[in-house]
Structures are given as structure tokens and as C-alpha cells.
A and B are shown apart, each in its own frame.
Chain A
Amino acid sequence: MFRDARSYQMLFLCLFLVLGIATRDWTLHPGIILVAIATCLVTQWAALVVSSQFPILGSQFNPATQTIATPATPDSPTPSPPHPFPSLPSALITALGLSLLLRTDHCSTMMVAAIAAIASKFLLRFRGKHIFNPANFGIVAAIGLTHDAWVSPGQWGEGSWYILLFLATGGLVLQKVGRWDTTVTFLGSYACLEAVRNLWLGWTWDVWLHRLTSGSLLLFALFMITDPRTIPNARTSRILWAVAIALLTFILRNIFFLPTAVFWALFALAPLSILLDLLWEAPRFEWKARELRVES
């Protein structure tokens, strides 16, 4: 239906937001969602304008990076018309991700998160690729810079039909993007670590299952950790990277008792992708309307 995987992602994130607001007991205000969306779009637009004037700040339109993307899928025979701001969908996805995960009572806090998220894409770059997952960076920035933001890891509950929904929709997007390896590795290694702990402690297996069927964990694994623009380019790198995040999450959760361990783990290990990209070279992922996965 859609040619750009981001369209699916936007659709699904919107669906989750609507479902969450309608069926879950969320302290979520529609006004703050609108602020997140507006701030992300405006910041992205402003940053694009500025970076086109000062190319050193960003390479969204850097011809060099554009040429890396070589269309090659058989199901995209006709080229799509150029989009004036091809990265606006990404900004919208970031805004939806922030709305789903970050909680605050104040619009100003959400603005801080949104600006930090988008600005990180332009300011924190290495070889033209942004280092941090924007939504993740925004969450960490809001929690660190303000005193009224939080994340509710229990907000989706566990073991409900939402899991199936997340798996189905996430699987569809991942299949389009070609980054399922990251999710599978992350969930697999995290499940193994928790299984070993469970076995060692002597808990029954429903404890293990309960920990793994957390809606928030799945949402993270399927929709955040897989952002193709920030994760390592080569498959080997991605697998190593996902294992590292699973390990750090496990440590933060079970030794330091951080309920929001996944976000901190991703944030802390994001720079590792630079090193992995240097060790295993592979072409960068580019969002293309016709070409979802670039293997040039």
C-alpha cells in the first residue's frame, strides 16, 4: 500500500496512541501530543533551512549521501516525485514516539524533549549519520534537563493482545525496512539473560514470561531500537550492538534496579554504532519513497 515504510510506522504509532488513550489509563494530554508534533516539525524544518545554508551542520540534502541510495527493488519501477522535505515524516515519527513514551504535565517539557530530539540529529553526527535515536535522545534529555518528565514502563501492561498487535505491526515495518535482525537479536539475547537469571534464582517460568511480555519492552524492541538511520549499517554490527544493549539493559534493570533500563541502555550504547560502522563497513540506510532498503 505505502511505499515508504515510515508511512506504516506513522500509521501504527498513531494507532497505538489512539488505542492507548482510549483503552489504557494514561496521563496523556492531547495538547501535549500536539505540542510534540508541532515542535518536532518546526524544529526539523528550521534545522533543514539552517543546514542548507551551513552544510557543515547537517547532510540531510548532502548530494553525497543521496547518491549512496541506489534504488534497486523490483517492486518500485517508477521513481517517486521528490519530496520538498523528505525528512519531515521522520520528525513526525519522533514526535509520535515521544508522545507514546514520555510523560509530562507541561508543554514546555515536551518542547524541550522534541527540540533536543530533532537537534540531536543535526548536531550530533559522525560522517553525516546521526548518532542517537532522536526519540530516545529526547526522552533522556527531558528527564535529565527538567524535573517533570517521566516514563511509565508499566503503561501497556503485560501479556495482553497488545503484544500480538505490536508483533504484527512491528514485524511488518521491520520487514519493509529490513532490520528485523536487530529486534530478534535484542529480544532473543535479553530473553536468554532473563532465563538464566530466572533459572539461577529459582523463580517459576511465569515470572520470566511476565518480564518479557511487557508491552513497553516490545514497543521499544520493535519500534525504537530498529530505527535504521541510527543503528549500525552492517548486519554483524547490528547483531553485536543489539546484544550489547540487551546486556546493558539486563544489568541496569537487575543490578541497579532502573525501571527504565532500556532507554538508558540505548542512549549509552548509541555511540558504539560509530565504532561498529568503522569496523564493519556497509552502505547507510536511506529513507526513499520507492526504495526502502538500500544495499548499494
Chain B
Amino acid sequence: MSFELVVPLTLSSSRYLLPLYSFTPLPLYPPTMKLLRILLISLLILSASLCVASGAWAFCGFYVAKADARLYNQASQVAIARSGNKTVLTMANDYQGEVKDFAIVVPVPVVLKKEQVEVGKPTILERLDAFSAPRLVEYFDPDPCTPLVYERMMPAAPTMSAGARKDEAARSQNLGVTIEEKFTVGEYDILILSAKESGGLETWLRQNGYRIPQGARQLLRPYIRQQMKFFVAKVNLNEFEKSGYQNLRPIRMTYESPRFMLPIRLGMVNAQKEQDLIVYILSPEGQAEVTNYRTVKVPSGNEIPTFVKDEFKDFYKSMFQTSYDREGRNVAFLEYAWDMANCDPCSATPLNREELKEAGVFWLDNPETSPSSGRLIPRPFPIAPSSNVFITRLHIRYTRDKFPEDLMFQTTTNRELFQGRYVMRHPFTGDASCSAGKQYRRSLPRRFEQEAQTLARLTGWDIQTIRRKLPKIQAQALTWWEWVWFTLSPSSPLS
């Protein structure tokens, strides 16, 4: 009732998820591909605010730094736009170190040519993040002595930040490593390698100045045997300076493959602890889910005390950790599933057509991919420059022991809407001297207690500490039967 304020929890606006996700690469199976490349991908660099906090970096694959600094994967963001076997994969880059030391190795399903790799705009993953972030919604109780007259919603303005030499080739051949493609895109020098055996690939990478983490060799083998290729990128400093950007931009790959997966195994080689990965899957059909792990919704819709507004990021972090532990640490969490044409409440304006294309959506102009009729969902918000794009935001926190296998996905036709949404209701603080007003005031202590217990249950925080932060009400609390009557009464703000 009354005002509704939406406080989005975005990756770029918070330290939560600082360890942004890290995971491995893109899979694809080489043969049996048709000729399709439409997809775009963009790899985003996390915002500078994130970069400050720790010396971590995350990506689909492992980092192979040329410097001896220890590099970890801690967090990554990936957007995957997929229709049929066509895929556009955008990897955000939150590398936090000297740009000259940046280097990555990512298994990819097919040989990528220059026109299949692009550098994306740094803002596109921030936009996806802002649109899909778990949100805190704020309501203000009306004056209990006055009939309700208006209802309004105020969307918060999110920060919308907006050929190798011959001898080299011969050496490569001896090691069983073939440079399939070599090109420069934006600030990245990119090689697409294929290899016959993991030892040769490891030697080649070391000889060429890439620092391979211990234990990588064993993990390279399964990808080689599955005929996957290796996308190897490092920064071309001249191009980087020319680009004028402060941070590395996202890398976007376009390919076609029946494989719909993200290899996380490689990314765990140089990870010390659990890593977070956020995957935005854009589909013309409906929700995406993980097929070889459970997909679980994050708790949502709970009413929590108003003081959480100032510590929403801590709240979400604790709540996520509690849910993660409760579910056995081996599930993928669904944080958002929505038609991208609208939102309710919006934590950011829906992406426009150009932004969707930048995020990799390649089917906007193709009427065949519009959602099937007969399963239309009511749209609380009109608008819609695009109604055939459905976004799924999955948050996966993984460790080596609980996630032995790479992540496999599927898109379904499930168009059920879901959002991680938390509600706080500000009590009416004006003078309410009518009898309904007195009763309203007496109802508040019990309501606050319920909110406190919900908060304690969700986050594992100490209930006494929470209670101390609750607003103090000078009124005798309602007895339980009065409470029941009050909550059922049509004039109750709770009804």
C-alpha cells in the first residue's frame, strides 16, 4: 500500500558477490554443426567498485597469469542467449590485477573465427544484473484512521551506468597443439587452440609464457578428448591504451552447438574456496534450469523489519549463505525468471531493443521464435519492445567437492514468473487516536516480532540482536485473539 520503493541488489552496486563468480567455459560439440553464427556475446568487466575489494578475478576457465602473482577465481558473470543450438555467450571480466598480466584459457566447443568473437559494451551485464537483481520492496502503512486513497509505486532509479611464425608452428605441431585461429579483437589477442593431449597443451602454454596452475593438466584432458577447443586470450596493451577504457571489456562469443553447458571444473583449479557464478540465460521460450543439479528458488516474498533497508546487502548475503547451507551446498539458485518486456516491481527499466541485442539476443527479428500461444501469462506491466525474451538468473555457489561435474542447462517452456523479493512495511507514525488507530498501534509489536523471526530464520542472525533494532512502540500488545481478529478485519492494513 502507499508508496512502494524498490531497492535492487545489484552486483555492481554492492560488495556482496564480490567474489563474483568463476566458472569455466563454454561447451560445444564440434561436429554436427550447421552454419549459423548470429550470436553476439559480450564479456563485461565488473565495475570498478568491485575491482577494488579484492585481488580476485573470475572467468570461465582458468587464469594463466604471466606474473607470479597468485590469481584466484572467485566470481564470474555470464550471459547466455540461446535459441535452438545457436548460442551467444558473454563473459564478464572482473579481473583485478595488472592488465598486462591478464590471460585466460577457456574450453570452447568449436573453433571460433574472428567474426565470432567480439568485445562487448562494459555496461550490458550491469544492465542485466540491475534488471534481475533480488530486490527489497518498501511499503508505507496508511493512516489507519483514514481510508486508503492511493497506491503508488516508485521504481528506484538504478545506476544504469550506463599467423604464427613457421618455427613456432613447427614447435606447436610437435606438442600436438594446433593454432586454429589467431586474431586480435578489441584489446584482446586471441588464439584458438586444438590439442591432441593435455601434456602437450600444458607444455605449449608454459613455453609461451602462460602460467598454468598445478593440476591443470589432468583437467585439460577430458576437454581435449571431448574435442573441445581452447580459447586463449591475453591483453594487447597497445590496443588497450587505444581503446581508452579503464577496465577490460566483456568478451562475446557466437557459436552453434548442441551442448548447453558451462565447464566449471577448470575454473576450480586455482580457486581456494567456494566461488559464485551468476548466469543470465536469455531464451525465446521460458525458464532455464540446470539439468544435473537441482534448481531451487531463493526464499522470496518475506516481510522483514525495516532496519534491513540500510543493510540489505548484508541481509541478502546472509540469507543466501543460509539457504546455500540448508540445501546441502549442491544446488543452483533461481533468483529471477521473467519476461524481459516488463517487471513488477521494476528494479531497473527493461532493456531496450538495442541492449537486448547487445546482450546477445539474436532472434528479436525472427517471428518464429515468439513464445507459443496458449501459454500467455498475464502481464502486470504493459510495455514491451520485446516479448519473446525470457530471462533466467541463476546463482550458483560451487566448490570442488559438491560440484564434481560441469553445469548442464536446458531451457524449458515454463513461463512462470519468479523474483527474489523482500518486503518491508513502514508503520504509520502519525497521530492515530481513533479506535482503529489505537488498535493498529497495539498490533505493531506482534507484527515486528513476526518480522524479526522471519529475518532470523532467513539469515541465521541472532534474534536478540534483531529485536534490539526493532522500532519501539508504546502500546500494550494485542492478545493473540485480538491479533487474529485484527488481521482478519477488512480495515486492517494487514488485510
Contact = CB atoms under 8 A, between A and B. Distances in A.
Interface of A: 24-25, 27, 103, 105-106, 108, 147-150, 152-160, 200-204, 206-207, 209-211, 214, 255-257, 259
Contacts of A24: 294
B451 to A, nearest CB: 24
B405 A210 contact: yes
Interface stretch (B183-191, B221-229, B302-310, B487-495): B221-229
B412 interface: yes
Contacts of A159: 330
Interface stretch (B112-120, B165-173, B234-242, B284-292): B284-292
A85 to B, nearest CB: 33
B416 A105 contact: yes
Interface string B361-401: 00000000000101100000000000000000000000001
A158 B222 contact: no
Contact of A155 (B225, B294, B372): B294
Nearest to B226: A201
B331 A157 contact: yes
Contacts, number: 92
B290 A25 contact: no
Contacts of A103: 412, 414
Please report whether the interface of chain B is mostly helix, strand, loop or mixed according to DSSP.
loop
B159 interface: no
B372 to A, nearest CB: 4
B372 A147 contact: yes
Given A106-B374, A207-B405, A210-B405, A157 B416 contact: no
29 contacts: A25-B334, A27-B414, A27-B416, A105-B413, A106-B374, A106-B375, A147-B372, A148-B375, A149-B413, A150-B413, A152-B412, A153-B292, A153-B410, A154-B290, A154-B291, A157-B331, A158-B293, A158-B330, A159-B330, A160-B328, A201-B221, A201-B222, A201-B225, A202-B218, A202-B222, A207-B404, A210-B405, A214-B292, A255-B29
Contacts of B412: 103, 150, 152
B218 A25 contact: no
Interface residues of B, number: 36
B409 to A, nearest CB: 8
B321 interface: no
Nearest to B411: A150
B33 to A, nearest CB: 12
Contacts of B334: 25
Contacts of B414: 27, 103, 105, 148, 150
Contact of B413 (A108, A147, A203, A207): A147
Interface in B256-271: 258-260
A154 B29 contact: no
A149 B286 CA distance: 11
Given A27-B414, A148-B413, A207-B405, A154 B293 contact: yes
A207 B374 CA distance: 40
Given A25-B296, A201-B222, A206-B404, A152 B289 contact: yes
B260 A257 contact: yes
B297 interface: yes
User: Which of A150, A155, A211 has the largest count of B CB atoms less than 10 A from its CB?
Assistant: A150
Nearest to A200: B225
User: Which of A106, A202, A209, A256 has the largest count of B CB atoms less than 10 A from its CB?
Assistant: A202
Contacts of B225: 200-202
Interface of B: 29, 198, 218, 221-222, 225-226, 258-260, 289-297, 328, 330-331, 334, 372, 374-375, 401, 404-405, 408, 410, 412-416
A161 to B, nearest CB: 11
Contacts of A200: 225
Contact of A154 (B218, B222, B292, B413): B292
B26 to A, nearest CB: 13
B259 A211 contact: no
B408 A259 contact: yes
Contacts of B29: 255, 257
A25 B332 CA distance: 11
Nearest to B403: A210
A7 to B, nearest CB: 30
A106 B376 CA distance: 11
Contacts of B416: 27, 105
User: Which of B29, B259, B414 has the largest count of A CB atoms less than 10 A from its CB?
Assistant: B414
Nearest to B416: A27
A157 B294 CA distance: 5
Given A155-B294, A201-B221, A210-B404, A259 B410 contact: yes
B361 to A, nearest CB: 20
Contacts of B294: 24-25, 154-157
A13 B38 CA distance: 45
Contacts of A108: 374
A22 to B, nearest CB: 14
B375 A157 contact: no
Nearest to B400: A206
Contact of B375 (A105, A211, A259): A105
A256 B257 CA distance: 10
B265 to A, nearest CB: 8
A186 to B, nearest CB: 19
Contacts of A158: 292-293, 330
3 tightest Cβ-Cβ pairs between the two chains A and B: A147-B372, A150-B412, A259-B291
A149 B374 CA distance: 12
B328 to A, nearest CB: 7
Contacts of A203: 222
A259 B411 CA distance: 11
A27 B288 CA distance: 13
Nearest to A160: B328
B292 A256 contact: no
B297 to A, nearest CB: 5
Contacts of A106: 374-375
Nearest to B294: A157
A154 B295 contact: yes
A207 B260 CA distance: 18
Contacts of B258: 256-257
Contacts of B218: 202
Given A27-B414, A201-B222, A210-B405, A147 B292 contact: no
B259 A257 contact: yes
Contacts of B410: 150, 153, 259
Contacts of A206: 401, 404
Given A105-B375, A157-B294, A157-B331, 6 more contacts: A152-B412, A154-B293, A200-B225, A202-B198, A202-B221, A202-B225
